[in-house]
Chains A and B, each alone.
Chain A
Amino acid sequence: MQRFGEIVARAAKHRRTLTAIDATATRLYGWRWNPVHQSGTVAVAMLLVLIGTGVYLVLFYRLGSPWASVARLAADPWLGAWMRSLHRYASDVFLIAAALHLLRMFTQARSWGPRTLAWMSGLVLFGAGVVCAWTGFVMAWDTFGERLARDGARLLDVLPILSEPLSRIFAGDGPVPSAFFFVNLFIHLAVPLAMGAILWLHVSRMARPVLLPPRRVTWTIVGALTVAAVFVPATLGPPANAFHLPPATPVDLVAAWWLPLSERLTPGVAWGAALVPLFALIAVPRWTRRPREGRWAPSNVDARLCTGCTQCAQDCPWEAITLVQRDDGRPTPLAHVNPGHCVSCGICAGSCAPMGIGPPARTGRDQLAAVRDDVLPLLARSDAAPVLAICCERVPASHTAALRQRGAYVHVVSCVGNLHSSVIESLLRAGAQGVLVGGCPPRDCASREGPKWLRERLYNDREAELHVRVDRRRIRVATLAPGDLRGSIDAFEAFTRELALLDQPIRETATEFDAVCDPVPLDEVAS
């Protein structure tokens, strides 16, 4: 068991597969419209398409004559045929997107601790999608639907649930009862309703959950599927017949990829083959969890510095921060971090002007101290003012290497949303020619809202804003997306070209940073 856990944990760190998929999609669509980054929201969009088309389709479905009613729909060239096809293709895309989302969360280590609820509810949503697809195919009651129903019945019959084997329904010694189609339809309609509630649970720990992809992505996918539905309509097999043994049936391998395997296994082995991976998926939060220390320690609040401004609570993407009453007599409230909700993203560190909150070693003061120790000596030594690139730790090494080759000094932070604006100011005042802040694509931020809050703080005066005296022309926020090395280089070169047109920066002494960076002695605050 321990060994199995180690394998899961090692697999979680193995991001190459995902990075390759991400990079390919970024090359094709650009990071703004990368559908892989949107996998979760694409699944939700497809769910809406499924509900919309499903409401139309169910109006024409007849329990007493399932195949004939679906065949009539499929034969209607104006609306029925493509609505049905769109429904079918959207279900396929839903499953693909949901599986991809699952893979992303797993390989990005976003599946443990405070995200356990999202992980588990996501698994349930995926399972519900499979059940919906299963029942949907059975509804049509063509040879494929019958094949699925038979296999499902075969698997259910080994469980001590039903006294009479379900498989006998399809034996042919009597008509398949309408009750079977009714129950199947009921499941097909009820499960999506339950999915709505589970989706709410899925995002319940998030502040400002984004449920839909950008419009362009949504309409591109829906449009492409509609075109496919019109020109390559979904097939409907011959009607199911208990006395026919079709040599082959059309199978939707996206939704029923497991069927050929399941049919070859005995029911017991098939259950085992399904339950072992399911058990592993359920155990992922347990096996991939990190000790809540170091990089994964939750944020702390320095009560001496907290002004009760509420900005950290507003910015926290996980609603992990609340304001509580102080017990030291000061009139303002005090930020309180719920470690059970905190994912150690560090967004709060960038949101706190007095630098009183953040994960250990990543508060604004810690960032300033790191810059003072690592970067300022370099600036002091260099004759020409260098360009600094502050990059998220998830930016690919190839990108940071390319920036270094072009003369940039690269300083890595845990997330650009973690970055305190004072760090940028300090670097510019210390003589940096310019600061390029390179983060992940906004919809691919592991901290959810890092690039968004960074821009707000730099350009839109969001609390912990960059001081007005700082020359914004010397700052550039860039997206350094995997698969878009050219874009990263172009952004950097364009920035350096613009910097070349500006005057040389004025270098200030670094002594004044000491006052900010050093921890405030407790007795000094008390006095």
Chain B
Amino acid sequence: MIQAAHAGRGLVAAIATAAAVFGVSRASAILLPLHDAHSARLRLSWSARPERIEVCRTLSAEELAQREEHMRQRVVCNGRFASYTLRVEADDRVLDEAVVRGAGLRHDRPIYLLRDFDLAAGVHHVRVSFERREQMDGTAAAGQGGTRTERKEADTEKEEIDTGIFAGRAQREAVEYARRARAAIPPRLLLDTTLVFGSGRAIAVTFTPERRMLQLLAERPPRR
């Protein structure tokens, strides 16, 4: 009798254990919905440096003479980074319109943009514009290194004292300005096209620094 009770209890325990383990195994793979099966997604994703807007001034000979020799930078620039207006439209419907600035408290870091817009699968006319908000009248972007006039004066000055410890600096500055200008986002980016969105598919819009334009990215082979 006792043995039968023990056997019965053992059987119940075994069933309970099996049920618990089965429950754990099932709970470890519950299918949970994530996206609407007929939805698609337009994704904007890029990171790039905003333009530098600077006002430059050439120091006078007296001002330069008051400085240590290694501190005699002739052109001193003050400025800030540009902000941009992002406008995203799909089929003439505005999905987003926002001001985008560089990251960081002083907005001096690159712009990191990541926006997802859910759309119905199908054909959509998509227009993405990314325009600098600041006007350049009286100011200049980093690539120009100051207003045209100031720049010209600075160049003249450079030619005059491009010797000694300043040797080759004008060239280095020019290279650096050019690099920064190339890396910066152009004043206006526009993508205006018609796209076919497949069900459950995303199309990304990104900025390519090499071509300095917005570019479309669709599915690529998964990382294996």
- Let me know if A249 and B28 touch, CB within 8 A: no
- Let me know if A165 and B28 touch, CB within 8 A: no
Most buried by B among A147, A247, A255: A247
- Let me know if B109 and A93 touch, CB within 8 A: no
| Shortest distance from the beta carbon of B26 to any chain A beta carbon, whole Å | 8
Main secondary structure on chain B at its contact with chain A?
mixed
A473 at the interface (CB under 8 A from B): no
- Let me know if A247 and B37 touch, CB within 8 A: yes
Contacts of A67 in B (CB 8 A): 222-224
B195 at the interface (CB under 8 A from A): no
Q: A89-B25, A167-B114 known; A251 and B32 CB under 8 Å?
A: yes
**Those of B32-71 within 8 Å (CB) of chain A:** 32-37, 39-41, 43, 45-47
A224 at the interface (CB under 8 A from B): yes
| Assembly CA distance A66 to B204 (angstroms) | 23
A96 at the interface (CB under 8 A from B): yes
Interface 1/0 per residue, A186-224 and B, CB below 8 Å: 000000000000000000000000000000000010001
Of B9-17, B77-85, B130-138, B161-169, the stretch lying at the interface with chain A is: B9-17
| Assembly CA distance A240 to B47 (angstroms) | 22
Interface 1/0 per residue, A142-186 and B, CB below 8 Å: 010001000000000000000111011001110110000000000
- Let me know if A239 and B27 touch, CB within 8 A: no
The contact of A92 among B13, B28, B47, by CB within 8 Å, is B28
Q: Name which residue of chain A comes closest to B110, CB basis.
A: A164
| Shortest distance from the beta carbon of B100 to any chain A beta carbon, whole Å | 13
Q: A163-B109, A227-B21, A247-B36 known; A253 and B206 CB under 8 Å?
A: no
B24 at the interface (CB under 8 A from A): yes
Contacts of B39 in A (CB 8 A): 245
Q: A65-B224, A240-B223 known; A251 and B30 CB under 8 Å?
A: yes
Q: A163-B103, A171-B114, A239-B224 known; A89 and B45 CB under 8 Å?
A: no
| Assembly CA distance A243 to B201 (angstroms) | 5
A228 at the interface (CB under 8 A from B): yes
Q: A66-B223, A164-B112 known; A228 and B31 CB under 8 Å?
A: no
A521 at the interface (CB under 8 A from B): no
- Let me know if A30 and B25 touch, CB within 8 A: no
Q: A163-B104, A228-B21 known; A253 and B34 CB under 8 Å?
A: no
Of B143-151, B177-185, B186-194, B213-221, the stretch lying at the interface with chain A is: B213-221
B29 at the interface (CB under 8 A from A): yes
B141 at the interface (CB under 8 A from A): no
**Those of A84-109 within 8 Å (CB) of chain B:** 85, 88-89, 92-93, 96
Q: A168-B112, A224-B21, A228-B21 known; A245 and B41 CB under 8 Å?
A: yes
- Let me know if A239 and B47 touch, CB within 8 A: no
The contact of B24 among A30, A96, A242, by CB within 8 Å, is A96
A390 at the interface (CB under 8 A from B): no
- Let me know if B201 and A244 touch, CB within 8 A: yes
B174 at the interface (CB under 8 A from A): no
| Assembly CA distance A224 to B20 (angstroms) | 9
| Assembly CA distance A234 to B27 (angstroms) | 10
Interface 1/0 per residue, A253-281 and B, CB below 8 Å: 11100011000000000000000000000
Residues of A within 8 A of B (CB-CB), count: 53
The contact of A234 among B21, B25, B33, B112, by CB within 8 Å, is B25
B94 at the interface (CB under 8 A from A): no
- Let me know if B222 and A228 touch, CB within 8 A: no
Q: Name which residue of chain B comes closest to A90, CB basis.
A: B24
| Assembly CA distance A457 to B9 (angstroms) | 33
The contact of A251 among B21, B31, B202, by CB within 8 Å, is B31
- Let me know if B103 and A164 touch, CB within 8 A: yes
Contacts of B200 in A (CB 8 A): 244-247
| Assembly CA distance A244 to B43 (angstroms) | 12
Contacts of B16 in A (CB 8 A): 28-29
| Shortest distance from the beta carbon of A240 to any chain B beta carbon, whole Å | 7
B117 at the interface (CB under 8 A from A): no
B18 at the interface (CB under 8 A from A): yes
A319 at the interface (CB under 8 A from B): no
Q: A28-B13, A30-B9, A172-B204 known; A241 and B219 CB under 8 Å?
A: yes
| Shortest distance from the beta carbon of B4 to any chain A beta carbon, whole Å | 15
| Shortest distance from the beta carbon of A65 to any chain B beta carbon, whole Å | 5
A250 at the interface (CB under 8 A from B): yes
B203 at the interface (CB under 8 A from A): yes
A318 at the interface (CB under 8 A from B): no
Contacts of A30 in B (CB 8 A): 9
- Let me know if A260 and B32 touch, CB within 8 A: yes
| Shortest distance from the beta carbon of A21 to any chain B beta carbon, whole Å | 12
| Assembly CA distance A203 to B151 (angstroms) | 72
- Let me know if A243 and B46 touch, CB within 8 A: no
- Let me know if B24 and A248 touch, CB within 8 A: no
Q: Name which residue of chain B comes closest to A259, CB basis.
A: B32
Q: Name which residue of chain B comes closest to A246, CB basis.
A: B34
| Shortest distance from the beta carbon of B13 to any chain A beta carbon, whole Å | 5
List B residues at the A interface (Cβ < 8 Å): 9, 12-13, 16-18, 20-22, 24-37, 39-41, 43, 45-47, 103-104, 109-110, 112, 114, 200-204, 206, 217-220, 222-224
Instruction: Give the top 6 A-B pairs by smallest Cβ distance, nearest first.
Output: A171-B45, A243-B219, A68-B224, A173-B206, A245-B35, A235-B29
Give 16 pairs: A residue, B residue, CB < 8 Å, sorted on A. A28-B16, A141-B223, A164-B103, A172-B43, A173-B45, A173-B46, A173-B204, A234-B28, A244-B202, A245-B200, A251-B30, A251-B32, A252-B27, A252-B30, A259-B32, A260-B32
With A224-B20, A234-B28 given, name 11 new contacts (CB 8 A).
A89-B28, A164-B47, A171-B206, A225-B21, A227-B21, A228-B22, A228-B24, A232-B26, A240-B223, A241-B219, A252-B30
